[in-house]
Amino acid sequence: MYYDKYWNTVHSALLVSSFASSLNVLAQSSTNTTDLAWHAPNSSQVNNLSSVINGTGVYGFIFNSSINPGGSAYGTYNWCNMPHVRPQEYPRVDSSYKLEYVEVIHRHHKRTPYAANTFPVESYAWYCSDEGLFYYGQPLPIGNLSAASTYWSVFDSNSNPFTVQGFNGTCQFPQITSAGLGDSYQHGADLKAVYQDMLGFIPSIYSNNTVSYRVTNNVITSQVGGEVVAAMYPGQTKDHSVTPLLIQPDSIDSLEPAYSCPRGSSITDSYGPGSTSPGWLTHLNASAPLFSALDALSGVDPTASDWHVSWDHYFDNLSSRLCHDKPLPCKISNPSFCVTQEQADEVFRLGEYEYSYIYRDDPLSLSASTASYGVYVAELANNFRGAMRGGTGSYGGSGTKYRHNIAHDGSISPLLSILQIDVMVWPGMGAEVVFEMYSKGADYYLRVLWGGQVLTSNNPSLGHMDMIPIQTFLAYIDGLVGQGASNVPALCNRTSSSSTD
């Protein structure tokens, strides 16, 4: 997710300077043993511009199927269906540690592209008649006044003179596809197999006092949620069984995130999409011939800024097709003039490069992510505290020990930025981070899993995040955002009660 407000350079520079000063004050007031500074990611093919522009393929990454091809081990980067916790690869913990609390956050699964990322006219239709998107209200508790199961069915009218922009067909843009729903179900089944069947940590019968599910205001996360819950708790699919999906008001949603954060946005705008920063413009200038070739084929206006301040739009358009076994697009007026696999691969290399640059490579990335995603990580820290004292966390019941969040790439990316992951990639469909808190005697420890394996941070206070003292992590988060996100309003240049920019 990119920020779309392009503030003028002088104003942005002033806000960035002010933010840096604020963060320095926080660092000075935090414990001296907790490192709050930005630390660069590892050098890799992903963030090497020469490899991006002059390379071939996409580093062995998968972009054309939810199922890894033969010879490709589970754990390989798969944009269509990222690796996650499952029994076959789950790293077991020494039996002297007791699992006390788990929080999962993952991106939704594969979908149709966003309407804004479709070409003005697409060369073929996209049909979603093999699923239904159910939208209706239901009185609670369920009684005599029951709702019918109604779903949206897209149609066209011969009396409507207007032409559809983008894809014809029966889909919403976006919506989780039937294949994406299947991936969602399997994701939930794999988590059940670990935390219920293998470890006996969560109950076999659903209880909202123990387990909670949370989504964003974007309906595609709820579409995934229904499948995840069904896989983890099949009994919830029976008549009169209901499962709440927790959601915050749109204007303050911390999971997406959707709360207004002018200063955080201005920092990203100063070095990322839409900026005149040489560090950002270098890769755009180097890839200008590819922009020209794709514009000529797609019908996209070469002056359309939203298509040319980054590779986000072309990346979504092309990857969504390949993940659903659809052909790369061809020019409407010349069907023999098509996007080549080599061109698609270069788009994917450029997109991966951009996410690494925005969220890890630029020294300002930690400041931007701390502001834009500081509320969620503060909620996470409070959930750990609640679990340690046997009380409530940021939300949910007093006995909640498993929280499951379904979010977006714009959620996972700033989280990985705050954790200062060693190698940053664009989080693909279903990309997952799991936080596990353990006790041993009177002490508590944290393990963080990324793609089902232990995450390594380049921040020396966090390091290889395998049984680090929980207080180390709490001191890090508190130092950045304050307990209860108390510092975030100031970091965003807002008061806590402000509702506008």
- What's the pLDDT at 9? 35
Listing DSSP states for 371-437 in one string gives: HHHHHHHHHHHHHHHHHHHTS--SSS-TT--EEEEEE-HHHHHHHHHHHTBSS-----TT-EEEEEE
Q: Do 265 and 372 contact (CB within 8 A), yes or no?
A: yes
- Mean of pLDDT values over 196-219: 97
* Selected residue with higher pLDDT from 8 and 448: 448
Instruction: Look up the pTM and report it.
Output: 0.92
If pLDDT is split at 50, 70 and 90, which confidence band does 22 have?
Answer: very low
pLDDT tens digits, 466-496: 999 999 999 999 999 999 999 999 999 876 5
Confidence of residue 394 (pLDDT cuts 50, 70, 90): low
Superfamily of domain 9-47+58-110+176-266+370-491: Phosphoglycerate mutase-like (3.40.50.1240)
Q: Is 29 a residue whose pLDDT tops 80?
A: no
Look at residue 4 and tell me whether its pLDDT is greater than 60: no
Look at residue 496 in the predicted model and tell me its pLDDT: 58
| 228 touches 185 (CB < 8 A) | yes
pLDDT band of 30, cuts 50, 70, 90 = very low
The answer, yes or no, to whether residue 498 has pLDDT greater than 80, is no
Confidence of residue 15 (pLDDT cuts 50, 70, 90): very low
Distance CA 253, CA 273 (A): 23
Q: What tens digit of pLDDT does each residue of 352-391 get?
A: 999 999 999 999 999 999 999 999 999 999 999 999 988 6
Residue 151 has pLDDT above 60, yes or no: yes
How many CA atoms within 13 Å lie on the side-chain side of 148? 3
The amino acid at residue 337 is F
Query: Range with the lowest mean pLDDT among 8-12, 142-146, 244-248?
Result: 8-12
Q: Where are the beta strands (DSSP E) in 262-389?
A: 330-331, 334-338
pLDDT digits (tens, 9 = 90+) for 34-66: 999 999 999 999 999 999 999 999 999 999 999
Does position 397 have pLDDT exceeding 80, yes or no?
A: no
Q: Tell me how far CA of residue 269 lies from CA of 2, 16, 185, 236, 262, in angstroms.
A: 9, 10, 37, 44, 10
pLDDT, the chain, mean:
92
Using one digit for the tens of pLDDT, what is the confidence trace for 251-290? 999 999 999 999 999 999 999 999 999 999 999 999 999 9
Q: Render pLDDT for 306-363 as a digit per residue (tens, 0 to 9).
A: 999 999 999 999 999 999 999 999 999 999 999 999 999 999 999 999 999 999 999 9
pLDDT digits (tens, 9 = 90+) for 58-100: 999 999 999 999 889 999 999 999 999 999 999 999 999 999 9
What ranges do the domains of the chain cover?
9-47+58-110+176-266+370-491
Look at the chain and count its residues. 501
CA–CA distance, 459 with 421 (Å, rounded to integer): 8
Span 100-125, pLDDT tens digits: 999 999 999 999 999 999 999 999 99
The answer to whether the beta carbons of residues 415 and 257 sit under 8 Å apart is no
Fill in the amino acid letter for 299: G
For residue 339, the number of C-alpha atoms closer than 13 Å in the C-beta half-sphere is 30
Look up tokens 């946005």; give the residue.
Answer: 265
At 209, list the tokens.
């006092």
